[in-house]
Structure 1
Amino acid sequence: MSAEVRDAERALHRRMGLACAAATAAGLPGRFRVWEHGGLLAVLATDPALRFLSTVSGVTPATLPALDGLLTGWDPTVLTTGSEVPEGLVPAGERVMAVRRLGEPPAADPEVTDADAGSFVDVLLAGYEVAGPVAAFVAAEHRMPQMRRFVLVEGRTPIAAAGMTVHDGVAVLGGASTLPECRGRGAQTRLLRHRLRVAADAGCALAVATAGARSVSAANLGRAGFRLHRRSAWAKP
């Protein structure tokens, strides 16, 4: 695992730690835990609707031996960015981690503005079109004080939202969504460029985001100069 990928995975793990703490403080159902074990990065969410949050990352040849002891008693998705094949697990799809080293920041976009937590979450959830515990988790995460919140405004109407946190010089970009009726106008590309500028101005060396494999988001990140790292997902049979 390269130093760049390692730093990106650790930044994502720290972001998840903040998000889970925010969810706990908001009284969401179930239990949340974010911890390290033998160099592995683990996240547990016990509510069935939030099971997709339960993951183990940071898998390298050096940390792989610690995996057996970590998996006892729960069923997370194990994410590998190298050629590691965890023993006893079966393939469970693919995800993408996009990493970009920051240089000269893009130009400012006059239609992208900072947003307060309430209006930002309204746009974000309307774009995600989710409800129940997932919506509650997204809202708690994006209301936390460490979150930088941005919206793209057309006329006087916010049509897209995107967030960012910073962890030891790495900007974690996410979440992001566009109102359904406003998609296809390049809103997320503009919000992505804006966050890269803010991250560079804050002194960040790297930016990282996650996306579904072969998704529109992954394609946007690739066009914006991100290196797309395939993360193989593994699960208990």
Structure 2
Amino acid sequence: MSDVRAAELALHQRTGLACAAAAAAGVPGRFRVWEHEGLLAVLATDPALAFLSTVSGVAPETRPAVPGLLDAPEWDGVRPTVLTTDVDAPPAAGLVRAGERVLAVHRLGERPEPSAEVVDASGGFVDVLLAGYETSGVVAEFVAAEHRLPQVRRFLVVEDGTPIAAAAMTVHGEVAVLGGASTLPAHRGRGAQPRLLRHRLRVAADAGCVLAVATARAGSVSAANLGRAGFRCYRRSAWVRQCGPDRR
């Protein structure tokens, strides 16, 4: 299995956990996470969570199944974003480019030195994470539900007794998914996230993982931090169906 395929499968499993937690917590909308002929599909019907509705796992062997999946009744009017890795051609007819995301993958080897300022979080993690995201409403409800799961490892950077940044991790077989990272606005630009990255890579290696994966916005500080930490950053082209009289 390629590193990209292993990374996408682990991200899909992490999203499945998050959506199940959100549904159990009463977050608005309907959630579904499933596989279709090798493709990986996620549905979230609340408009605030539209970024979750995706189709990934597109490869030469799964590409023929894309049109059928996009026409599946499960979407119920939702237009998912199809994500392709390092591919500039649309994966199916009628799709147009809708930006770019980053899939970052790191083969674990030498263990980075742990940071004394990074601690396992027992309480207060979600408050710091949401304050760093500067989000509220349905998105905040979803993030909070996801990061209260017992499968999620939670870490805080603490300076002078004050938590200033948060980041999370889950383990899926031999793959660690690094997600849920933010820094309080007043403390940005001081290296908190690179410290959290190095620390989680050490924890992942100690847990027996051989691969770490993360996602980021193209051109963001997070993407730059991942590159400096030794991740290989793949371009993920985003594709959506054109709106038209025959499209919902």
Same fold (TM over 0.5): yes
Equivalent in 88, 93, 102 of residue 96 of structure 1? 102
Separation (CA, whole Å) in 2 of partners of 1:61 and 1:106? 36
Deviation (angstroms), 1:214: 0.7
Moved over 4 A (4+): none
Separation (CA, whole Å) in 2 of partners of 1:156 and 1:10? 38
Give the secondary structure class of the aligned counterpart of 1:130. Answer: coil
Could you tell me which runs of 5 or more consecutive residues in structure 1 were left unpaired when the two chains were aligned. none
- Matched residue type, 2:83: L
Q: 1:60 touches 1:82 (CA, 8 Å); kept in 2? A: no
- Matched residue type, 2:126: V
Deviation (angstroms), 1:82: 3.8
**Which residue of structure 1 lines up, in the alignment, with residue 29 of structure 2?**
30
**Which residue of structure 2 lines up, in the alignment, with residue 227 of structure 1?**
232
**Which residue of structure 2 lines up, in the alignment, with residue 81 of structure 1?**
85
Deviations 1:34-88 (A, max 9, x none): 0000100000000111111100000011111111111124310000014352221
Deviation (angstroms), 1:26: 0.4
In the alignment of these two chains, the number of paired residues is 235
Separation (CA, whole Å) in 1 of partners of 2:95 and 2:36? 19
- Matched residue type, 1:93: G
Separation (CA, whole Å) in 1 of partners of 2:55 and 2:146? 20
- Matched residue type, 2:169: M
Could you tell me which runs of 5 or more consecutive residues in structure 2 were left unpaired when the two chains were aligned. 243-248
Give the secondary structure class of the aligned counterpart of 1:143. Answer: coil
Moved more, 73-82 or 186-195: 73-82
Separation (CA, whole Å) in 2 of partners of 1:28 and 1:138? 10
Separation (CA, whole Å) in 2 of partners of 1:54 and 1:224? 29
Give the secondary structure class of the aligned counterpart of 1:172. Answer: strand
Deviation (angstroms), 1:8: 0.4
Please give the TM-score of this superposition, normalised by the length of structure 1.
Answer: 0.97
**Which residue of structure 2 lines up, in the alignment, with residue 59 of structure 1?**
58
Please give the TM-score of this superposition, normalised by the length of structure 2.
Answer: 0.93
Equivalent in 158, 166, 186 of residue 191 of structure 2? 186
Deviation (angstroms), 1:201: 0.2
